[in-house]
Structures are given as structure tokens and as C-alpha cells.
Structure 1
Amino acid sequence: MTTDGRKPMSENKLGAIDALIAAVAPPPSGGVADVDWTRFEKALGFAAPVDYREIVGRYGVGQFSGEFYVFAPGGSTGQDVYEESATFLDIIGDPTWQESVDALGTQWLHPDGSRTAIDLVGGEAAFQPWGGGSGGGYGYWHTIGDDPNGWPAVYTDLAGVWLYDRDGLASLLLAAVSGRFPADAVHPSVSEEPEFILFESYH
């Protein structure tokens, strides 16, 4: 346990992966087994969080419950973290998003229902993309601290939906498919029929 009573981050993440697998079965064919994670770190400037590695390795390239998709290194067009990174960083780096949420009073929504002020300070320097959503959503890690395994996960449509999970990507996906976010933030169908749809093309 940490001094605040929480489990170490690695335990939280591995526990979230186990729970995610129990809630959403990975494809029988498995995920991507031959990712060069050293190349990932050199290309993007950070080591891949352990839960992201597990998601890519267990699930591969596809979509959770018709909504959330996770980029993979070397994925098909539109799903390759190397190809999509610059575009997603340009988007979150636009300072007008902070101005917009400040003006509207929009807040991060956490899985426990609490809300906190949105902080986009640092723009593209404070976020790294992990994926997105079928309805035009954007997924990022909030790169606070030196350890990527401690980075919270963000999912937003840059309008009314601003989800934030301080325990990371697997925890955020689990909260979504478990129906822990309200219906106006994540459509009920995501938790009513939790599934993973594998995209066939991968290179």
C-alpha cells in the first residue's frame, strides 16, 4: 500500500486489466504479439504504460463496445499510434479548448462521479494520444509525473464529454463498459453489450 492507502500503480493497472478481460473477452486469435516496444519509446519519447501494452497484446487493433478504440504501433491507417500522434497532439494543443471549458465551467468527470477542474496547461507537451472514439472522441494520457504507469487517462469529444481516470487506460475502459459513467457521458449501449470488435487489417 502507498501512504494514502491506495495500491501501487502497477497493481492497480494489472487488476484493471484482469477486470477488463473478465468484462470484455479478448479475441480468440489474441492481440499483437510482436510489438517493438523499444522503437515505441524511441519514436514517442516515453515508455508504454504496462496496461496499454497488455491491451495491445491481449486485444490487438479494434474497438470496445463500438465506441473506444486503442491505437497500436504499426496499426492500419487511422489506428497507428505513430501516424496519428502528431495530429492528435495538434488538436489538444489548441489553446481555445482551455478557454472554452473555462467559459462553460466544464469539468473532468471521474468514474466515482466526482468532478474536478479541467487543466489543459501545457497542451501537446502535457498529453499523449492512446486512441479515440467512433463518434469523434479523442483519447490521451495526461502526462503528469515522470512514470507513464502513473499517467491518468482522458477521453473527450472536446465538447461536453471530458472523462478522466487517474488509474489509467484500462481502468477508464473498464469504467465505461461497466456503466460507471452517466448516460450523458457514455452511451448506455457501451455497457449494455460490452464486446471487442477486432479490426482485421494489421501490418
Structure 2
Amino acid sequence: MEWVRRLAEAVGRDRSGVSVDWPVVERRLGTALPADYKAFCETFGRGEFQEYLTVYSSGGGTDAQVADIHEENRQIAEEDEAGAEYYLPQGLYRPGSGSGLLQWGASARGDEFFWLADDTVSPNAWTVLARDDAQHARGYDMCMSEFVHRLLADEAFEGFAGFGATRRTPPFYTPYPL
């Protein structure tokens, strides 16, 4: 996974050695996950980038923040009409329903990051969708790890919601204790 390797190099991270039980995690979600995301979890574990971005990762085994958050989002959407409207126009991903949002991260500023998960295409081809705290959304035709790398380490990338790479602040990663 080229983009995971590049991201790890940019923040000086060695492989964490996290081993995730992907079949269990994917059964919880009802879908396979992108290969770069799996490599990301096994390289980084749980943590945050630049005190800004948290990718919903795993501490290993059957632990999976991405599945926990998706279950929480679904519960909110099912219990409250305003909660369901929050995810429109795409709606939340539901297995077998075509496409919908599957959240993989969030920022300290209230930005949210999703895949536009789609049953009709390989998870490796899912679009990344970034949405700021005012719900302005933008799609990116790249994998999750490329988006994170570009956001943190590529000064030519326009960034998102006022956040992007600068020479003043080299990218860094802070792991959470397991």
C-alpha cells in the first residue's frame, strides 16, 4: 500500500504490528473495507494526526472504531428524524442498499470524513467524502490514505476546511495507548 507507506514515512511511523480480525469487523459492517484502510490500521493503530485528525482505526483483534461509529450513526439516524436528515442526501450505508456514507474519521474542528460506500464497486474504488462542520461536502477520487497524506504532507493539495500542509508544521502522529 503505497500511500500508507508514504504517510508513515511523512510522520516517522514504523509499523505498529496491530493484527485485526478483518472478517469479524467486516461482518459487523456488512461490507468489505478498502485494502489501504486495513493496511493503515495495521501500521498506525489508534491515534491522531497533528492534534486535528482521527482516523477511526483499531487497537487490534475485533476492536474497530469504524464499526462502532457506524453503529452509533445508524442508531442516531433511526431514533430521530433530524439525525437521519443529517446524513442526506446520501444517507448512511446499509448493506445491500446500494450506496451510502460510512464514516472513517473526524477532526477536532467538527469536520467528518466518509467513504461513499457502494455495493456495486470494489471498496478500493470508493470515493472519499469530506464534510465540514457546516455540512459543506466535497468528494475526492482517491483512497483514504492518499487523502490523509495529501492533507497533512502535500503543500500543493488545497486542503480542506482551512486545514492543510504547511512548511511551518511538519506532519506528526500521536498514537493512543492500547
Asked if Structure 1 and Structure 2 have the same fold, meaning a TM-score greater than 0.5 normalized by the shorter chain, the answer is yes
Shift of residue 173, structure 1, vs aligned partner: 0.3
Give deviations 1:29-88, integer Å, cap 9, x for gaps: x4352210000111001112111011111111001122111112468xxx8223211233
Alpha-carbon distance change, 93 to 149 in structure 1, aligned in 2, over 3 angstroms: farther
The change in CA–CA distance for 1:191 and 1:56 in structure 2 (over 3 A counts) is farther
Q: Which residue number corresponds to residue 70 of structure 1?
A: 55
Q: TM-score, normalised on structure 2?
A: 0.75
- Distance 1:190-1:47 versus aligned 2 partners, 3 A rule: farther
1:139 aligns with one of 113, 117, 122: 113
Q: Secondary structure at the match of 2:2?
A: helix
- What is the aligned partner in structure 2 of residue 176 from structure 1? 151
Equivalence for 1:195: 172
Greater relative contact order (CA < 8 Å, ≥ 6 in sequence): 1
Q: Which residue of 2 aligns with 1:165?
A: 140
**TM-score, with normalisation over the residues of structure 1?**
0.67
**1:23 and 2:10 are equivalent in the alignment:** yes
* 1:129-185 residue CA offsets vs partner (Å, 9 max, x unmatched): 112112222121111343111111122224165343211101110110123124753
**What is the root-mean-square deviation in Å for CA atoms of aligned residues?**
2.9
Aligned to 2:97: none
Runs of 4+ in 1 over 6 A off after TM superposition: none
Partner of 2:42: 57
Question: Sequence identity of aligned pairs in percent?
Answer: 20
Q: Which runs of 5+ in 2 are unaligned?
A: 94-99
Match of 2:84 in 1: 94
Residue 135 of structure 2 is aligned to residue 150 of structure 1: no
Contact 2:151 2:165 in 1 (8 A): no
Q: Give 5+ residue unaligned stretches, structure 1.
A: 1-13, 99-119
SS in 2 for 1:130: strand
CA distance in 2 between counterparts of 1:190 and 1:83 reads: 35
Distance in structure 2 (CA, Å) of the matches to 1:183 and 1:36: 32
2:98 aligned with 1:124: no
SS in 1 for 2:38: helix
Structure 1 CA distance, aligned partners of 2:22 and 2:173?
23
> CA separation in 2, counterparts of 1:47 and 1:60?
19
Contact 2:115 2:129 in 1 (8 A): yes
The number of residues matched between the two structures is: 161
